[in-house]
Structure 1
């Protein structure tokens, strides 16, 4: 009698365990997919900035984006776009590279945190001085409307060659 009662219970536990493992596996696959999407969006930053593809570049911005650098903060999408437009105008040969070191996804999956190293280089248009800034950055990504966009970005210069280190 005890054997026949425990058999359905064992089956139930087996099915429950299988469902749990499959859900965990699905969750891990989904998380990995989102991490890959964020890394691809980060690569879009590098490609779009350096090729001056402003459509692709600005498509990375969340409407509520805030960007902070040593020269100040831009607290709207319009102000951020204007700041980058002036960068392109004042520094025609500017290059900018973000090198992702780590990306973490929130438990709910709607926010992500990216950290890495950043380098920016350009030639001063007046005196032809070569400038290069190297530092660290972090980005907060937000997933909405089926896309990852940058909600917040902070760029901290740690070393500089040239004369425009904090600009």
Structure 2
């Protein structure tokens, strides 16, 4: 037991010594605006039904969870899913964050908001609309923000603030 305590204290001291250098200042407010700009580009990719642009938003090891569907993970599966989605003639997607945060390190952030979506129902072949919420985790890679986790759930709409670009 004493050995474990010494080990924990030693590890804590080693970490403290590593953190003596002052970390570089990260402008998290600017990073939040970058995430919103990435969401705007994502909305444009949906509007133009650009499957390649939709897939390019994700990291190679990303995961996507949509209602009533299996978890999609990995570059190839996401490319297939976004290509299929982009080919839907009834596709209309609009979303906007109502909460954005970025870690003090500046390399991880998230957006949370609501979405509206119309797509073709695979069983009925008719357009079907849904609305709800999403939570997207972003990771900075190579100087650009990429989606590493994207989770969507149906739900009733929240009041939309006047500054939102959410299309109703």
TM-score scaled by length of structure 1? 0.71
Shift, 1:107, TM fit: 2.0
- Give the equivalent residue in structure 1 for 2:132: 135
Over aligned residue pairs, what C-alpha RMSD do you find? 2.3
Question: Structure 1 unaligned runs (5+)?
Answer: 1-22, 160-167
- Give the equivalent residue in structure 1 for 2:79: 81
Question: Structure 2 unaligned runs (5+)?
Answer: 1-21, 157-168
Question: Does the 8 A contact of 2:28 with 2:103 survive in 1?
Answer: no
Q: Which has the larger radius of gyration?
A: 1
- Which one has the bigger helix percentage? 1
Identify the match of residue 120 of structure 1 among 114, 117, 122.
117
SS at match of 1:72: coil
Identify the match of residue 146 of structure 2 among 143, 149, 158.
149
State the distance in 2 between where 1:139 and 1:110 align. 14
Matches within 5 A, 1:1-167: 27=25, 30-70=27-67, 71-89=69-87, 91-124=88-121, 129-158=126-155
State the distance in 2 between where 1:136 and 1:83 align. 20
TM-score scaled by length of structure 2? 0.70
User: For residues 102-161 of structure 1, what are the alpha-carbon distances to aligned partners after superposition, in whole Å with 9 as ceiling and x for unaligned?
Assistant: 1101121110011000111135588663311001000000012111000000000125xx
